[in-house]
Amino acid sequence: MNLDTILKHVEKPSRYIGNEYNSVHKNPADMNIRFGFCFADVYEIGMSHLGMKILYHLLNSADDIYCERFFTPWVDMEEQMRAHNIPLFSLETKTPAKEFDFLGFTLQYEMSYTNILNMLDLGGIPLYAKDRTEEDPIICAGGPCAYNPEPLADFVDFFMLGEGEELMMEVMDVYRFFKKNGGTKEDFLKEAVKLEGVYVPAFYDVSYNEDGTIQSFTKNYDDAPDRIKKRIIRDFDKCFAPDNIIVPFMEIVHDRIMLEVFRGCIRGCRFCQAGMIYRPVRERSPETLLDLAQRLINNTGYEEISLSSLSTSDYTRLKELTDGLLDMTEDKKIGLSLPSLRLDNFSMELMQKVQKVRKSGLTFAPEAGTQRLRDVINKNITEEDLHNAAQMAFSGGYGTIKLYFMIGLPTETDEDILGISHLADEVVSIYKHTDKEIRNKNLRVTVSVSSFVPKPFTPFQWVGQNTQETLFRKQMLLKEAIRNRYVSYNWHESTLSVLEGVFARGDRRLSKVLVEAHRLGAKFDSWHEFFHMDTWMEAFKNTDVDPDFYNIRERSYEEILPWDHIDVGVTKKFLINESEKAKRGETTGNCREKCSGCGVIPAFGGDFCG
Ligand code: SF4
């Protein structure tokens, strides 16, 4: 494979060369298992993904397993590969994908599904699981979108639900046994399905009612579980964390050390899938994190550390951790960033601490423009919280504030939309009332609005999504309302959110739509320049599938949902209760205030939720 020739004709060739600092090199001939870790987007996005870093180094920590990376080649590289009959290849050894035992996809975003099909196609691997042979790799998948695996069920041999650190190695043990003793793929799947967290779609049949809803979801293999329970790492402080992550040659999206301080979230915002599926909360200790940070700094030379979690300001020992990190980093000019700060526990002391090395803007997420709607979505923050945080920020010399909102939320009215502009004006007026001597000379308030997409395993999993036309009307209503010269406004393409809504709550009948869209050339749908809604509408027409059935349609609590066979611990009863409270505009406190009985304790035992 003469890569050098074609790399001259593509942009960012370092996406395809591998050999980066800390990348793993083994002799494939000595390996029992070759695992291809696939990220269905370009190198610089995939290399920023923490899950990939963890599982790549975890798999390679086993002597007889070689985990290599695959990313979706950019369009210019794909053109060269197809022109020169170069199949999809791994970064480490440039080995064709077809030669691997496993190809494992992390499912981060529904709009990357056509890239998965394109990678299989580029690898010369049949798209449908039923068409693959013993010669083809076993295709597996995990990650947040796997909590509704059904749109991909016809393409994936098995899914791993929940946290992979323990499950992945258990699956490798099962496979090693069958590879050594000459079992078939079917034999392997029939054994792997006995592991908690493994879902083999082929072992279940789905039937539908006249109206298109699911009539039944039944297993056709006795040893398959009735419901697939997600896996969690109980003692997260002892959970595997790589200390020698790869340092890329080229700049990537998140080019820094990511220190995962805890998993789960105590908050229970009703639109947030992560806040439900990653429960319960489990923290790492500052001692473990500081030791890990020191080793990561020594092994990578990175000059920035970000504390990652769903709500870092909720970490119970944040002061201890940030003090320790500052002692470790300040003199080396290593920056510290806290991406996810909540308005109601924003502290100036914390801000000044982490901005000692590099001062950047502040981001807050009120999510909704009125208190009524913030209560409906259970955001549990008030206008006063925003005022206090803004006042603290301006008194601390900040001049750049970003405010995140969503439109299309359940029960939303135009008054709620206009409330967004009102909040932005409030922030500007607080700046104007801040002492000129201490405030920043410049002010820039950015209102960034995304469209709400109802997701499985949330209290809003039954609501109808706004149509594209309604979302656009609301985006323009807000555009008209924002007249403040200090406020800039940006919004996300609503058509993309509407399509995301189809696959987020879709079922197996969408597999033919994906194949048709792939055939029509759909790829990199999450990239504005490549997303073509007309291609998708043609795919829906050609396969006689109505997208409105999946995104716009309201569901009843009695309906069998495509993901009902997945058990995340949080019960349907709790979600229905939260859905009803939302309709009444009632809030639910966070888990540290009071347990609201979501079901996680009975499901996973222990008393470690708060
Ligand atoms: S069981 Fe209670 S404390 Fe634990 S995550 Fe659920 S609601 Fe929160």
pLDDT surpassing 70 at residue 210: yes
Ligand 1 atom with least separation from CA of 600:
1
Lowest-confidence pick of 115-119, 357-361, 424-428: 357-361
Domain that holds residue 570: 256-507+550-584
Do residue 295 and residue 219 come from a single domain?
A: no
**Ligand 1 pocket, 598 CB below 6 A?**
yes
Q: Is 431 inside a domain boundary?
A: yes
Q: Given pLDDT bands bounded at 50, 70 and 90, which one contains residue 437? A: very high
Do residue 17 and residue 72 come from a single domain?
A: yes
The residue whose CB lies within 8 Å of the most ligand 1 atoms, and thus the one to mutate among 281, 380, 573, 595, is 595
Q: Is 235 inside a domain boundary?
A: no
Cα(279) to ligand 1 centroid in Å equals 8
Do residue 30 and residue 176 come from a single domain?
A: yes
Do residue 304 and residue 407 come from a single domain?
A: yes
Tell me the sheet residues that pair with 424. Answer: none
Q: Given pLDDT bands bounded at 50, 70 and 90, which one contains residue 525? A: very high
Ligand 1 atom with least separation from CA of 280:
5
Q: Give the list of residues 6+ apart from residue 184 with CB closer than 8 angstroms, or none.
A: 134, 178
Lowest-confidence pick of 21-35, 158-172, 312-326, 353-367: 353-367
Total number of domains constituting the chain:
2
Residue 331 has a pLDDT of 84
Single out the residue of 308, 393, 309, 382 nearest to residue 349, CA to CA: 393
Q: Is 83 inside a domain boundary?
A: yes
57-75: average pLDDT: 98
- The rounded distance, in Å, linking the Cα atoms of 49 and 610 is 27
Residue 357 has a pLDDT of 52
**Ligand 1 pocket, 440 CB below 6 A?**
no
**Ligand 1 pocket, 609 CB below 6 A?**
yes
Cα(191) to ligand 1 centroid in Å equals 33
Of 210, 229, 248, the last residue of a domain is 229
Cα(276) to ligand 1 centroid in Å equals 10
**Ligand 1 pocket, 603 CB below 6 A?**
no
What would the pLDDT profile of 154-169 be if each residue is shown by its tens digit? 999 999 999 999 999 9
Do residue 116 and residue 260 come from a single domain?
A: no
The residue whose CB lies within 8 Å of the most ligand 1 atoms, and thus the one to mutate among 234, 591, 594, 608, is 591
Taking each helix axis as running N to C, give the angle between helix 494-504 and helix 468-481, from 0 to 180 degrees, rounded to the nearest 10. 140
Do residue 125 and residue 263 come from a single domain?
A: no
Q: Whose CA is nearest to atom 8 of ligand 1?
A: 591
Cα(600) to ligand 1 centroid in Å equals 6
Ligand 1 atom with least separation from CA of 610:
3
Rg from Cα positions in the chain: 24
- The rounded distance, in Å, linking the Cα atoms of 208 and 131 is 24
Residue 337 has a pLDDT of 81
Lowest-confidence pick of 81-95, 333-347, 407-421: 333-347
- The rounded distance, in Å, linking the Cα atoms of 235 and 140 is 26
Residue position matching structure tokens 């396969």: 543
Q: Given pLDDT bands bounded at 50, 70 and 90, which one contains residue 336? A: confident
**Ligand 1 pocket, 575 CB below 6 A?**
no
Do residue 316 and residue 426 come from a single domain?
A: yes
Average model confidence (pLDDT) across the chain? 95
Do residue 451 and residue 567 come from a single domain?
A: yes
Q: What is the CATH number of the domain that holds 431?
A: 3.80.30.20
Do residue 217 and residue 363 come from a single domain?
A: no
Cα(601) to ligand 1 centroid in Å equals 7
Residues of the chain above pLDDT 90, percent: 90
pTM of the model: 0.96
Q: How many residues does the chain have?
A: 610
Cα(164) to ligand 1 centroid in Å equals 22
Q: Is 50 inside a domain boundary?
A: yes
The answer to whether 161 touches 144, Cβ cutoff 8 Å, is no
228-256: average pLDDT: 96
Ligand 1 atom with least separation from CA of 279:
5
What would the pLDDT profile of 444-494 be if each residue is shown by its tens digit? 999 999 999 999 999 999 999 999 999 999 999 999 999 999 999 999 889
Q: Is 249 inside a domain boundary?
A: no
pLDDT surpassing 70 at residue 329: yes
Q: What is the CATH number of the domain that holds 114?
A: 3.40.50.280
**Ligand 1 pocket, 399 CB below 6 A?**
no
What would the pLDDT profile of 351-375 be if each residue is shown by its tens digit? 666 655 555 678 899 999 999 999 9
Do residue 263 and residue 224 come from a single domain?
A: no
Could you tell me whether strands 444-451 and 487-491 are parallel, antiparallel, or unpaired per DSSP bridges?
Answer: parallel
Do residue 430 and residue 362 come from a single domain?
A: yes
Q: Given pLDDT bands bounded at 50, 70 and 90, which one contains residue 133? A: very high
pLDDT surpassing 80 at residue 610: no
* Dihedral class, residue 6 (left if φ above 0, else alpha if ψ from -120 to 50, else beta): alpha
Q: Whose CA is nearest to atom 4 of ligand 1?
A: 609
Residue 339 has a pLDDT of 65
Q: Is 398 inside a domain boundary?
A: yes
Do residue 132 and residue 212 come from a single domain?
A: yes
Cα(108) to ligand 1 centroid in Å equals 25
pLDDT surpassing 80 at residue 340: no
**Ligand 1 pocket, 275 CB below 6 A?**
no
